[in-house]
Chains A and B, each alone.
Chain A
């Protein structure tokens, strides 16, 4: 069971494209940069800021 994270404080890749109005063709590129940061901030929240 792989549950999605639904939150005002996290966007998955599709949500990031939508939030920042970026065309779908840039999905792979956005995954390398903006989504990477989105995921690393989540990791930071759940480790460093949950300590």
Chain B
């Protein structure tokens, strides 16, 4: 039987329907495949190809020609050109070309008074030169490095974005952007960028009032970050993405006091500006699932671990569920096992249209899965997922 041909408009409508609260004709899928996996599949060396644009777009072209996903996959590799212009100490190319994130913190424990007086000033004058060596230079050299960084970010990312738009047309993919901006939970920003994972958890116990004040001062910055001006008419189809890092490394008592209130405030403020919200709940959220019902309706919640039935029952009425399908099955499983598992997840989660099929976490490298399983998985989702 010939496969049903789905054009770009049809695929786009699957997503606009689910984000608009309508039941789509089929379960949309948004399989996470990193550009590095695409580059490796195309035979390119990560150590060199990520410095350019041509090979990056060629790899994206090749992987999307081969697999008829609803979205453009294999996009947005690491940006070593940007990391060199900034002298980033937090984004460093590993020996195999994949970008690593050494544990570098921007703020020392005795710098709370400077942070709390003016967080942005502290970030610009202390943290940025500390984390990015090219800005720790005499004024005009630092200014030149910043000019190159901004120009590169705008122009090179702009070229890649235009290239991706052409590939979306060429390969009949959904035209709805996965997200239009990103933000962070205020505590995650404080931990990831300022005090580090360990430093934040230690300070939470040793200097709780200062940590709380820091998080409260960071909150309006995260709200502003989540309402980017380049989006002129925010609506529920313009999604802001959050990846949540710290919650599952705290007890619920500390989560409820230090992490949750400012995150909830941030999400509601961005929602009230008109945006839609996409959240990647990293690690296992089963013990704190109920909190997610305090967020505005219609959030897309991608889960990494958890019981799909309980997740559906607890948060599936209010929100859109995504994630959970174990990407490691794509390596270890047979084609039949992969397809049977996909049907199982569809049976549990695709009951009312508030579901987007995705892996628990993205495919980052080509060797991570057996690619003979990828199209059969897609075929199963596309056929079995018809409502």
Contacts and interface: CB of A to CB of B under 8 A. Distances in A.
A8 B58 CA distance: 44
B230 A5 contact: no
A39 B349 CA distance: 39
B2 to A, nearest CB: 44
Chain A interface bracket (under 10, 10 to 19, 20 to 34, 35 or more): 20 to 34
B42 interface: no
Interface string B23-47: 0000000000000000000000000
Contacts of A47: 181-182, 225
A3 interface: yes
B223 interface: yes
Given A45-B124, A48-B153, A5 B224 contact: yes
Contacts of A40: 228-230
B160 interface: no
A48 B193 CA distance: 12
B228 A45 contact: no
Interface in B206-222: 216, 219-222
Contacts of B223: 2
Interface string A1-13: 1111111111000
Interface of A: 1-10, 36, 39-40, 42-51
Given A3-B220, A36-B229, 12 more contacts: A9-B124, A39-B228, A39-B229, A40-B228, A40-B230, A42-B225, A46-B189, A46-B225, A47-B182, A48-B82, A49-B149, A50-B193
16 contacts: A5-B224, A7-B121, A8-B118, A8-B121, A36-B229, A39-B224, A40-B230, A42-B221, A43-B229, A44-B153, A45-B123, A46-B225, A47-B181, A48-B82, A50-B193, A51-B90
